[in-house]
Amino acid sequence: KQEVTQIPAALSVPEGENLVLNCSFTDSAIYNLQWFRQDPGKGLTSLLLIQSSQREQTSGRLNASLDKSSGRSTLYIAASQPGDSATYLCAVLRDSSYKLIFGSGTRLLVRP
Amino acid sequence: EAQVTQNPRYLITVTGKKLTVTCSQNMNHEYMSWYRQDPGLGLRQIYYSMNVEVTDKGDVPEGYKVSRKEKRNFPLILESPSPNQTSLYFCASSHKTATGISYEQYFGPGTRLTVT
């Protein structure tokens, strides 16, 4: 059974710091991995999608990497800003059944 | 604007009173899905649909029904709601790209349901 874990559960950093969020999964047979952002009481915004054949994806200050063999993905946020404060979720698509398996999220606070 | 919409956004109801939460997407996506989000349990899939008239159970389907009569709509039906269905519900849609499988999922804004 696929399980997705995110560490740490919460993170507080000063503005400007570079930071890394971690996501691990138990079954390496995945189609893709997606990182989302969720603001309190709001929906999920897709940040980056990495296909199983890819190693990384970049969008602006965000960079996500994928290492299937070790069952790990990282989300790197450069020069963090208070507006980055949110919960970050990773999710893996394990097969063509279209079911995403979510981690429990990392709650990020960027202090001004 | 490409989007997934849900209605209502907030709903308070009583045990046993049938309700429907609507979901609509304007991106011509084949795949649609419902999730619920609960503190400590994260997001879990309720039902999904691969295309019109094709639906299947996710991880927590008990107490829910769905239908997919049109490509753009995927309503979630609670025939007899109970307090343990109090949750934040999300609808999502996805597609295959022309170059291969993408399955990037787009989420609606959520429906907060309280059953008393």
pLDDT in tens, A89-111: 999 987 766 678 999 999 999 99
Per-residue 3-state assignment (H helix, E strand, C coil) for chain A: CCCEEEECCEEEEECCCCEEEEEEECCCCCCEEEEEEECCCCCEEEEEEEECCCCEEEECCEEEEEECCCCEEEEEECCCCHHHCEEEEEEEECCCCCCEEECCCEEEEEEC
For residue B21, pLDDT over 90 is answered with: yes
**Interface contact A51, partner B, CB < 8 A:** yes
pLDDT at residue number B40: 85
pLDDT in tens, A25-46: 999 888 889 999 999 878 899 9
d(CA A46, CA B61): 25
Residue A88 bridge partners (DSSP): A37, A106
| Mean pLDDT along residues B32-53 | 92
Do B107 and A41 count as a contact with CB atoms less than 8 A apart? no
pLDDT at residue number A13: 96
By C-alpha distance, the chain A residue nearest B105 is A46
For residue B102, pLDDT over 70 is answered with: no
**Interface contact B110, partner A, CB < 8 A:** yes
pLDDT at residue number B4: 95
